[in-house]
Each structure stands twice: as C-alpha cells, then as structure tokens.
C-alpha cells in the first residue's frame, strides 16, 4: 500500500478526488475499518468516499479508533481491579474472622465497615 501511495501521479489522482494523503500509514488505518490489516475494494472505496474533501477526517477517524482501543484496555483493567478488590475483601474478612476466633474480644465490625467503604 505504501509503495503504491508514493508512486508518481498517485497523490495527484487522490488530490483530484479531494483526498490529501500526507501520511500513508494513518490513511491506511483510517480505511481499514475491520482492522484486519488488509484493504478490500469495498473498504477502500467506501473509506475514500467517507474521507473525501476532509483531510482532517483521517486524523479524526484514527483518533476515534485509538480512543476505542484505550477504552477497551481501561475497561479490562477496571474489571481486573474490581476482581482483585473482591479477592482482597475476602482475604481481609477471612483474616478478621480468624482474629475474632482466636481473640474473642476482637471486633470485626470496624474492619467490615472500612471494607464496605471502599467503592
């Protein structure tokens, strides 16, 4: 794709159609809707139509895809953190119960309230 895009006359052809392709990698990423690192003819044509006359749209589409990936990583990380917090709550509760069983004067209610305060 990159070698095709830098071939003589290709930039002029794209310019005629209102596409200013300055960064071929970003342009390819904007066209590669299904993110399979291959461009089918339909993907190429529909992508060019979508981006036509809007040079900054390439950047916008690229940023939107990057943001989507970042959000997916953040969501996965949040789920992992929630699972770890749940495990930690169980460990603290178990340790508290163990202390209460060993020392009958130990009050677990304070520890349970503190655990419950954590979002």
pLDDT tens digits, 87-111: 988 888 888 888 888 877 777 777 7
Decide if 85 contacts 56 (C-beta within 8 A): no
Domain extents in the chain: 1-53, 56-119
Q: Mean pLDDT throughout 75-86?
A: 94
Residue 90 vs residues 93, 94, 95, 112: alpha-carbon distances, Å: 5, 6, 8, 10
Q: Does residue 31 contact residue 39 with C-beta atoms inside 8 Å?
A: yes
Q: Are 51 and 19 in contact (CB under 8 A)?
A: yes
User: For the chain, what is the mean pLDDT?
Assistant: 82
In this prediction, residue 78 carries a pLDDT of 96
- The three-point CA angle 62-63-65 to 5° equals 65
């Amino acid at each position: 794709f990159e070698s095709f895009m830098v071939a003589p006359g290709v930039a002029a052809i794209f310019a005629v159609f209102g596409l200013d392709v300055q960064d071929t990698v970003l342009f390819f990423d904007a066209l590669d809707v299904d993110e399979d690192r291959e461009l089918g003819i339909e993907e190429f044509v529909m992508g060019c139509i979508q981006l036509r006359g809007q040079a900054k749209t390439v950047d916008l589409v690229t940023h939107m895809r990057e943001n989507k990936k970042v959000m997916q990583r953040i969501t996965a990380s949040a789920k992992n953190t929630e699972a770890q917090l749940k495990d930690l709550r169980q460990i603290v509760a178990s340790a508290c119960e163990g202390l209460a069983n060993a020392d009958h004067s130990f009050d677990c209610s304070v520890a349970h309230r503190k655990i419950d305060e954590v979002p």
